[in-house]
A and B are shown apart, each in its own frame.
Chain A
Amino acid sequence: MSEITTLLNQAKAAAESTGLSVSTISRKLFNDGKAIARLEAGGQCTLKTLETARARLAELQSGASPSAESAAPDTAASPANDETGLLTPSTMTHLDRLEAESIHIMREVASEAENPVMLYSVGKDSAVMLHLAMKAFYPSKPPFPVMHVDTTWKFREMIQFRDEMTAKLGLDLIVHINQEGVEQGVGPFTHGSQLHTDIMKTQSLKQALDKYKFDAAFGGARRDEEKSRAKERIFSFRSREHRWDPKNQRPELWNIYNTRINKGESIRVFPLSNWTELDIWQYIYRESIPIVPLYFAAERPVVERDGALIMVDDERMPLDGQTPKKEMVRFRTLGCYPLTGAVRSTATTLPEIIKEMLVATTSERQGRVIDHDQAASMEKKKQEGYF
């Protein structure tokens, strides 16, 4: 680790002496403009990468530009052309293609919908979606608000992160809470997970869409998450009652999207349809996208319920005589804290999380309680208006 620190100090000194920006130096040494920033933030790299970087730094300091040979092994994602300062894009990787497709989808909605909104669940997929929206309209801001349907049972860290993120990006944030549900005291402990999710999430979302008359809503769902989602279109039509008719979906060809609807109808748009979980993590890593700290392992107070580790996030959690234990845990998916199981983990960095994910033998949604309620439950929920 100290070798990395030494190299970083040398790299910064080189930046000062040559007048080049740190990201340019980073690009020259690592073929990646963000590598130095990542290493500074505690990221890691292999010995081989370190050696290559050191050799290139030596060449740089001796006044020679890195030879073509030494630059060859890692083809850079975007090496800058030093004369013009312009980026020369290399062959598009699968992440580049996914990014471009998502941006195209977002621009299409911004152009054709009268009153679009981006649903923001504060999770990692939402983080990627928000990042893509910032890219799609740059230098403009995304021409739509973001909306969080708050069940009032989300992790406190999610709410804090949500407020900080949207403020930092300068976005309009709408927070919708089903007040009737609050007045009736609906919660997962008193009403059970199904009813709670239906009232505070599904019904609440419908309320919000009706209240603001949004005709298009972005969601961060992916086709690899679940079997019925694998069959859903990117532009998914909803009736006035917010129902999805899986047997009567509009054909969706090329990248020509039919966005036309009648009054009262709406479209759910899934710009991340073709991303996989690994793509999401890879992209978060590549783009240094901030995510809620709950994804990283830390000591957190948990109790065991029906085989799941539930974090005691506030005093509303009935302990029934149990004493919360401090354990190193993290969350693979985020939702209402009483319904979201933690996993024991020591992964405190993105590469560690990704590694854990890659060697994992259970799929992501297993931590969520709702999918297991019944067979084909997601398809049924979606027909009823669940996102």
Chain B
Amino acid sequence: MSVSTLKPSDDVIEYLAAHEKKSMLRFITCGSVDDGKSTLIGRLLYDSKLLYDDQISALESDTKKHGTQGEKIDFALLVDGLAAEREQGITIDVAYRFFSTEKRKFIVADTPGHEQYTRNMATGASTADLAVILVDARKGVLTQTRRHSYIVSLLGIRHVVVAINKMDLVDYSESTFDRIEADYRAFAKDLGFESITCIPMSALEGVNITKQSSETGWYQGCALLPYLETVKVRGRLEEKPFRLPVQWVNRPNLDFRGFSGTVASGVVKPGDEIVVLPSAKRSKVKSIVTHDGELAEARPDMAVTLTLEDEIDISRGDIICAGKAPAEQTDQFAAHLLWMGEDALYPGRQYLLKTANRTIPATVTELKHKVNVNTLEHMSGKTMELNEVGFCNFNLAQPIAFDPYKDNPKTGSFILIDRRTNATIGVGMIDFSLRRAKNVHWQDLDVNKTVRASAKHQKPCVLWFTGLSGSGKSTVANLVEKRLHDMGRHTYTLDGDNVRHGLNKDLGFTDADRVENIRRVGETARLMVDAGLIVLVSFISPFQSERRMARDVVEDGEFVEVYISTPLEVCEQRDVKGLYARARRGEIKNFTGIDSDYEAPENAELDLNTAEMSAADAATRIVDYLEKNGYLAG
């Protein structure tokens, strides 16, 4: 028997060292007193030798007063703490019990079984890792078994023990056990449990509680306690993306600004990129501060304080998320709701919704259906009464960051509060957003041109190549781009070939179209500069005013006009594409230099004549210019 007792001769330091390493399991017991639930818990405490002499003697005296078990100690009286419960012999409210074995510390939420106390059962289930559902072997799977299982699954518990109790009253019949197990599995197959473990037991007689008992020789599985000691239930949250709902801004002085909260999921380390919702501001984790020292990482359920690399505005209720996997944001979602109010829920009435440290006004806009907690059937309805479950659409006064409850209970759960009485009148589990993911957090205004440019180690600009057809603009531009690329710079070239075929394919060569052509190219270049690029634009762009326009849409110093001043005669002589010949023949109208003017720049940053220098030399001149003027700094 692996209990947590200590003999006078034992070494206490070793005992403490062992005790300190124990893990913790929180579980809920569901069933009514008739199923022997309180007896089971009393038995666990009693068999774990966790009762003191005075508690046992008090129990004996209570047994004489209220006991329902004749001469035997009535363990139920140990757990039913409220006077009304002891008088009426029922469990009204959830009670928390504690015991530990050599392997684990246990927190048991002992919850009432009656339908009218469903909300109290949900309270116990919300913090449990596992549920022990009691079934009376004489009665098998009942309505209440179904209700308990549904509530437990609704609250996201994934591991269930079906304790088929009172086996002593059916002569430890294997066939009875098998039939109940089959019934239960058939019913529970759609509830999404990861594991269902059925154990035949008698809480009253202590059969299969702490060890396998001879009474059920046909049962090959684990007794209850050894199972609870070894079952693995955690670990899922660790693999989820990092979430820290900010609970309290820690500001002891002007030099320290930390964000305190309990890690909801994921792992975070100093240096990790994070994004804060709803502001969508980004930064990196500078340190994970605790009273014991700074941590190398923080994991789910740890209460920590983060400091960030950048001074950004964060307040209580914001959620710090993994930079690559932020939570969703929405002001409309669908959720399962368990109503706990004495007054009915009315769609349209405003309530307060509290989730992960934020409280905002909310209304139910539509009750899509109710779920009969006993049969799981969907029903229609206009309102919801106490202890009813419904699937509802919600509308919030402000958007919240969330994850679906099935992915992350910590960021997908909420409570509803009555504005007048302040009572907690409902609890909800978010299923999905009703809006398309707006992903507003990708439009981060703080990641601006400067940030993008510095990430690329350059000063973005437009190199605007202007000149006659055949002057060598594209040749030089290509060489410049190649050089810059070799230097590790980030560039892009816009020229007639890649723009005229796509973006501007609707444009011809009239003056109006030429103006629009340049306007679009100018705007595109501006976006690319905003993206942090060095943009090479190679267009004849014959008109002064359009080049002016392109210069004006970017900031001072971001427009470098490169006039390729190769004379018309040389260009016409080269006539690489045979265009001049065709223009001369009149096959091409409005050809610059032939029947359309070219207005030479007056104040171009660079003026290069490829009749007098090679294209390579021209490219060198341009790169030198960029270097000298700080465009390639860093």
Q: Which residues of A contact B (CB under 8 A)?
A: 44-46, 48-49, 74-75, 77-78, 80-81, 84-89, 91-100, 103-104, 107-108, 110-111, 134-141, 223-224, 226-231, 246-247, 249-256, 258, 260-262, 273-274, 276, 278-279, 282, 285-286, 351-352, 354-355, 358-363, 366, 375-376, 379-380
Contact = CB atoms under 8 A, between A and B. Distances in A.
Given A89-B299, A223-B96, A351 B20 contact: no
A111 B252 contact: no
Nearest to A77: B20
B126 A362 contact: no
Nearest to B301: A100
A253 B20 contact: no
The 7 lowest CB-CB distance pairs between A and B, nearest first, are A227-B81, A94-B24, A253-B126, A86-B296, A103-B303, A358-B6, A363-B52
Contact of B296 (A84, A139, A251): A84
Contacts, number: 233
A256 B16 CA distance: 33
Given A93-B20, A351-B16, A379 B295 contact: no
Contacts of B80: 227
Interface stretch (B254-262, B467-475, B576-584): B254-262
B107 interface: yes
A97 B301 contact: yes
A262 B418 CA distance: 12
Contacts of A251: 119-120, 122-123, 340, 415, 424, 427
Nearest to B93: A231
A237 B422 CA distance: 11
Contacts of A223: 95-96, 98
26 contacts: A46-B11, A81-B296, A89-B298, A92-B301, A93-B24, A94-B23, A94-B105, A100-B262, A108-B247, A140-B251, A223-B96, A227-B79, A230-B79, A230-B81, A231-B95, A246-B82, A251-B123, A253-B122, A255-B127, A258-B354, A260-B417, A358-B12, A362-B53, A366-B52, A376-B86, A379-B83
B239 interface: no
Contacts of A255: 127, 262, 410
B107 A262 contact: no
B71 interface: no
A86 B82 contact: no
Interface in B400-452: 409-410, 413-415, 417, 422-424, 427
Contact of A362 (B6, B54, B261): B54
How big is chain B's contact interface, by range? 35 or more
Contacts of B297: 88-89
Contact of B424 (A246, A258, A358): A258
A282 B302 contact: no
B357 A111 contact: yes
Contacts of A247: 82, 84, 92-93
Given A231-B81, A253-B122, A258-B417, A286 B20 contact: yes
Contacts of A134: 291
B305 interface: yes
Nearest to A223: B96
B20 A254 contact: no
A152 B468 CA distance: 101
B234 to A, nearest CB: 9
B143 interface: no
B289 A138 contact: yes
Contact of B16 (A139, A354, A379): A354
Contacts of A95: 20
Contacts of A97: 24, 301
Nearest to A226: B81
A250 B84 contact: no
A351 B294 contact: no
Interface string B88-130: 0000111111101000110100000000000110110011000
B228 to A, nearest CB: 14
B13 interface: yes
A253 B247 contact: no
Contacts of A99: 303
Nearest to A102: B303
B248 A110 contact: yes
A28 B336 CA distance: 51
A379 B82 contact: yes
A44 to B, nearest CB: 6
Contact of B6 (A88, A359, A379, A380): A359
A44 B13 contact: yes
A139 B252 contact: yes
B206 interface: no
A110 B427 CA distance: 24
A286 B16 CA distance: 9
A274 B340 contact: no
B15 interface: yes
B360 to A, nearest CB: 13
B270 interface: yes
A46 B295 contact: no
B629 interface: no
B320 to A, nearest CB: 15
Interface in B280-325: 288-299, 301-303, 305, 316
A96 B24 CA distance: 10
Given A89-B299, A223-B95, 15 more contacts: A44-B13, A93-B20, A99-B303, A100-B303, A111-B316, A137-B260, A138-B305, A139-B250, A230-B96, A251-B119, A253-B427, A254-B413, A260-B417, A351-B12, A355-B12
Nearest to A228: B81
Contact of A140 (B252, B298, B423): B252
B625 to A, nearest CB: 45
B20 A363 contact: no
Contacts of A107: 247-248, 260-261, 303
A46 B14 contact: yes
Contacts of A48: 14
A111 B247 contact: yes
A34 to B, nearest CB: 10
A256 B303 CA distance: 15
Contacts of B95: 223, 227, 230-231
A341 to B, nearest CB: 13
Interface in B220-258: 247-248, 250-252, 256, 258
Nearest to B65: A375
Contact of A253 (B84, B301, B415): B415
Interface string B373-405: 000000000000000000000000000000000
A81 to B, nearest CB: 5
B17 interface: yes
B8 interface: yes
A331 B237 CA distance: 43
B355 A256 contact: yes
A228 B82 contact: yes
A386 B316 CA distance: 33
A363 B122 CA distance: 31
A231 B85 CA distance: 11
Given A139-B289, A256-B413, A359 B7 contact: yes
Nearest to B270: A86
Nearest to B419: A260
Nearest to A366: B54
Contacts of B305: 138
A93 B23 contact: yes
Contact of B98 (A45, A88, A224, A249): A224
Nearest to B247: A107
Contacts of B292: 78, 87, 135
A74 B17 contact: yes
Nearest to A383: B83
A141 B252 contact: yes
A155 B124 CA distance: 40
Contacts of A80: 293
A231 B248 contact: no
Contacts of A379: 81-83
Contacts of B22: 93-94
Contact of B423 (A94, A250, A252): A250
Contact of B8 (A46, A252, A359, A376): A359
